[in-house]
């Protein structure tokens, strides 16, 4: 297994729709093993394949759900059904999100409280989750990655402008930026 570099906002792979997985082969297994190792090293609670530069509809997650049950797995070719999203302003303490492809920053964002996620595992066996709270948020965040969306693309003002300023200040927003968990000292 290998820790792979995580690409940063501006790279086209993060801003394009990823393709369905059609080959459930050894290459896919290696990718998923590397994604788990990369997520753990980051550390993060989720990682989508485009974040390691691979435009496929795959993500991994590792999170204890709101009932305290440890959840760790991979979902391939997912579908996501969203519950209602409140139109209220997001809470700046409890609804703050971060992204390994926008490292070092966190912004508040409203998400659906409940989702239903379906997809396949590595053996092409169907999986289905009814998730709520943070577990639901992680699924929405990772699913967005597969459609070429970062959570910062969904921010409301004033956070949207703050994120844009941040990108301009650091010089991101164009291809070629990445960081390597375990070597580069970044958080996100
Ligand atoms: Zn992310």
Q: Ligand 1 centre and the CA of 49: distance in Å?
A: 10
pLDDT at 69: 86
C-alpha to C-alpha distances, 11 to 97, 111, 162, nearest whole angstrom: 20, 25, 20
Is the backbone peptide bond immediately before 43 cis, with ω within 30 degrees of 0? yes
Looking at residues 98-114, what average pLDDT do you find? 96
Looking at residues 54-64, what average pLDDT do you find? 96
Angle, alpha carbons 141-127-50 (nearest 5°): 35
Give the domain ranges of the chain.
6-169
Q: Ligand 1 centre and the CA of 149: distance in Å?
A: 9
Structure tokens at 135: 């577990």
Q: Ligand 1 centre and the CA of 150: distance in Å?
A: 6
Looking at residues 181-187, what average pLDDT do you find? 71
Structure tokens at 24: 């459930």
Q: pLDDT digits over 139-168, tens only?
A: 999 999 999 999 999 999 999 999 999 999
Looking at residues 51-79, what average pLDDT do you find? 94
CA distance linking residue 32 with residue 2, whole number of Å: 10
Q: Ligand 1 centre and the CA of 145: distance in Å?
A: 7
pLDDT at 77: 98
Give the pLDDT band (50/70/90) at residue 188: very low
Highest mean pLDDT among 56-65, 139-148, 174-183: 139-148
CATH for the stretch 6-169: 3.90.45.10
Candidates 35, 28, 23; CA nearest to 59 is 35
- If one compares 14 and 1, the residue with the highest pLDDT of the two is 14
Write the DSSP string, 48-103. EGGGGT--BSEEEEEEE-TTS-EEEEEEEEEEEEE-----SPPPTTTSEEEETTEE
Catalytic residues: 142
- Residues contacting 178, CB < 8 A, separation 6+: 5, 6, 7, 8, 11, 53
Q: Ligand 1 centre and the CA of 108: distance in Å?
A: 14
């Amino acid at each position: 297994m290998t820790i792979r570099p995580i690409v940063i906002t501006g790279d086209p792979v993060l801003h394009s729709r990823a393709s369905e997985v059609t080959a459930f082969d050894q290459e896919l297994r290696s990718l998923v093993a590397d994604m788990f190792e990369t997520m753990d090293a980051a550390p993060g609670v989720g990682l989508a394949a485009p974040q390691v530069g691979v435009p496929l509809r795959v993500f991994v997650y590792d999170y204890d759900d709101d009932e305290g049950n440890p959840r760790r797995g991979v979902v391939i070719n997912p579908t996501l059904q969203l519950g209602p999203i409140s139109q209220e302003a997001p809470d700046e303490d409890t609804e703050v999100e971060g992204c390994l492809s926008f490292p070092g920053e966190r912004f508040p964002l409203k998400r659906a409280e409940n989702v239903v996620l379906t997809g396949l595992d590595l053996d092409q066996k169907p999986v289905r989750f009814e998730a709520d709270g943070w577990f639901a948020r992680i699924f929405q965040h990772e699913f967005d990655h597969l459609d070429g969306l970062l959570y910062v693309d969904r921010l409301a003002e004033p956070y949207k402008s703050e994120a844009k300023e941040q990108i301009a200040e650091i010089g991101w927003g164009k291809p070629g930026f990445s960081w390597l968990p375990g070597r580069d000292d970044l958080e996100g």
